[in-house]
Amino acid sequence: MVKRYAVIGAGAGGLCAAKNLLAVGIEPTIFEVGSRIGGLWVYNNDSGRSPAYRSLHINSEAAVSSFVDFPFPEGTPLYPDTAQMERYFRDYAEHFDLTRRIRFKSEVKSIERTGDGYRVTTGDGKAEEFDGVVVASGHQSIPRHPPQVEGFTGEYLHSHDYRVPEPYAGKKVLVIGAGNSGVDVAADICTVTEMTYLSARSPVLIMPRLMFGVPQSRILVKLEKPWVPWSLRIWMRNMLTRIFHGRMEQWGFRTPKTRTHPISHPTLISHIAWERIKVKPGIERAEGNQVFFSDGSQETVDAIIAATGYLTDLPFLPEGTSPLNGTRLDLYNRVVHPALPNVFFIGYFDVSGGSNIRMMDDQAEYLSAIAASKIKLPSPDEMREAIRADHAFQEKQFPNSPRYGLELDPYRYRKMLARDYVRSGTARSASKPMAMRVDRQVAEKRRQQNSEVSL
């Protein structure tokens, strides 16, 4: 009998998981709370879970950000916007015959264990049984609010709810957090505000988006060979950035001495140089409209936009089984729940340099191989030990901030997955030539479609 899996979410992770399950003969049903395909890339998504703002563009280059067997169509810009991303995911779903398998407006409310499988209940009260479940509900939907803003009486919102700059025209606005959301939002609003303040509590390296006329990732990938120690890579990134942006201290930031999540922006430094944005250190507290910073300075602002990151929530899992451990997840290889057989997770990571979307391919292929019994998992105790080792590595590699809970070193991670294929005697590389063939066929078909459109 054909096995059936429930997939929660029709974003990048859910679509990719469903496609890979189909490839091993498992029938997926995708549950999606909204009515559109593409998850967080859908601007004004009626799921209420997307943080996409009007000016959002992908920040990893398109050529390396597509799924491996489905390139962006020819003519796609280096960094597509939300409309192009949404179209891409819709095309992917159509191409791999996933659209008819999506149940829109279906929020998964609970998963319960039944004998060998799981009962999945949706918001309309309907329940259905499946052999397994793939959780792909995303981890960038629930805002993490900064406690320091408690006494603030002006307008407050999280970057998750930010859409357009117009409401901030003529105002003084503080953006808290210099992650990729914070720098995007600050650069977006600063041409209309009276003043934009950007608060960075930790050292940050703002890399240019392009170096020598090409995406900076193409330069970094040439220099950062896997055997190059991190101390040298950090030095190289700092030096390269200095060529384009000068020293971070010149603009009010502090240069990181440790490994940090890559931040890049095409115009932020110019806005600071033009004095549309003033960089401030960490915020200590707020009273009325006054904000107090860690260097003793204070500013009066009309609005605060907290770009302070996200919390993961998995409210539908069986009681007592949440893998959340602080901001980390107790999952084997970031995919397998040691206590819930045939429940897999996809997309719960922040790739540290590279594309999250491309990494979904690796996870989806891996979880499908497990579901199809091509990979034999270690015992639950061995998995828990591996999880502890992974957390210990994370603690050593990355700064001690909640933000780094899901950070993922892509090179090390792919090696971790590969070990399970080798241990199980499953030659993953054997499937690669097929993937490459599909890749070329799909690319050719899309080229033809594209030229048909342009004729």
Ligand X SMILES: NC(=O)c1ccc[n+]([C@@H]2O[C@H](COP(=O)([O-])OP(=O)(O)OC[C@H]3O[C@@H](n4cnc5c(N)ncnc54)[C@H](OP(=O)(O)O)[C@@H]3O)[C@@H](O)[C@H]2O)c1
Ligand Y SMILES: Cc1cc2nc3c(=O)[nH]c(=O)nc-3n(C[C@H](O)[C@H](O)[C@H](O)COP(=O)(O)OP(=O)(O)OC[C@H]3O[C@@H](n4cnc5c(N)ncnc54)[C@H](O)[C@@H]3O)c2cc1C
Is residue 422 helix, strand or coil? helix
377 Cβ contact list (under 8 Å, min separation 6): 332, 336, 370, 383, 420
User: Which residue, 28 or 256, has its beta carbon nearer to ligand X?
Assistant: 256
181 binds ligand X (CB under 6 A): yes
Give least dist CB 348 to ligand X, A: 12
Q: Do residues 95 and 70 touch, judged by C-beta distance below 8 A?
A: yes
Q: Which of 120, 110, 133, 137 is nearest to 340 (CA)?
A: 133
Measured CA to CA, the distance from residue 272 to residue 44 in angstroms comes to 30
28 binds ligand Y (CB under 6 A): no
Measured CA to CA, the distance from residue 167 to residue 38 in angstroms comes to 27
Give least dist CB 430 to ligand Y, A: 27
In the range 319-378, which residues lie near ligand X by CB under 6 A?
350
40 binds ligand X (CB under 6 A): no
Give least dist CB 60 to ligand X, A: 7
Q: Do residues 173 and 193 touch, judged by C-beta distance below 8 A?
A: yes
Q: Which of 92, 86, 98, 88 is nearest to 30 (CA)?
A: 98
Give least dist CB 246 to ligand Y, A: 25
282 binds ligand X (CB under 6 A): yes
Give least dist CB 309 to ligand X, A: 3
Measured CA to CA, the distance from residue 231 to residue 389 in angstroms comes to 22
275 Cβ contact list (under 8 Å, min separation 6): none
Q: Which of 281, 285, 302 is nearest to 149 (CA)?
A: 285
185 binds ligand Y (CB under 6 A): no
Task: State the sign of the Cα–Cα–Cα–Cα dihedral 394, 396, 397, 401.
Answer: positive
261 binds, among ligand X, ligand Y, none (CB under 5 to 8 A by kind): ligand X
Measured CA to CA, the distance from residue 189 to residue 169 in angstroms comes to 8
Contacting range for ligand X; rule: CB under 6 A; set: 89-97, 173-181, 381-389, 415-423: 173-181
Could you say which of 20, 66, 76, 140 contacts ligand Y (CB under 6 A)?
140
DSSP for 179-232, please give it: SHHHHHHHHHHTTTSSEEEEE--S---EE-SEETTEEHHHHHHHH--TTS-HHH
241 binds, among ligand X, ligand Y, none (CB under 5 to 8 A by kind): none
344 binds, among ligand X, ligand Y, none (CB under 5 to 8 A by kind): none
User: Which residue, 305 or 336, has its beta carbon nearer to ligand X?
Assistant: 305
Could you say which of 7, 20, 51, 272 contacts ligand Y (CB under 6 A)?
51
Could you say which of 19, 49, 101, 201 contacts ligand X (CB under 6 A)?
201
39 binds, among ligand X, ligand Y, none (CB under 5 to 8 A by kind): ligand Y
Give least dist CB 194 to ligand Y, A: 26
Could you say which of 137, 193, 196, 368 contacts ligand Y (CB under 6 A)?
137
Measured CA to CA, the distance from residue 115 to residue 265 in angstroms comes to 51
Which residues sit at the interface with ligand X, rule CB under 6 A?
Answer: 56-59, 140, 146, 148, 159, 176-182, 184, 201-202, 261, 282-283, 307-309, 350, 401, 403
Residues that bind ligand Y (CB under 6 A): 8-14, 31-34, 39-41, 47, 49, 51, 56, 58-60, 65, 107-108, 136-138, 140-141, 181, 316, 347, 355-357
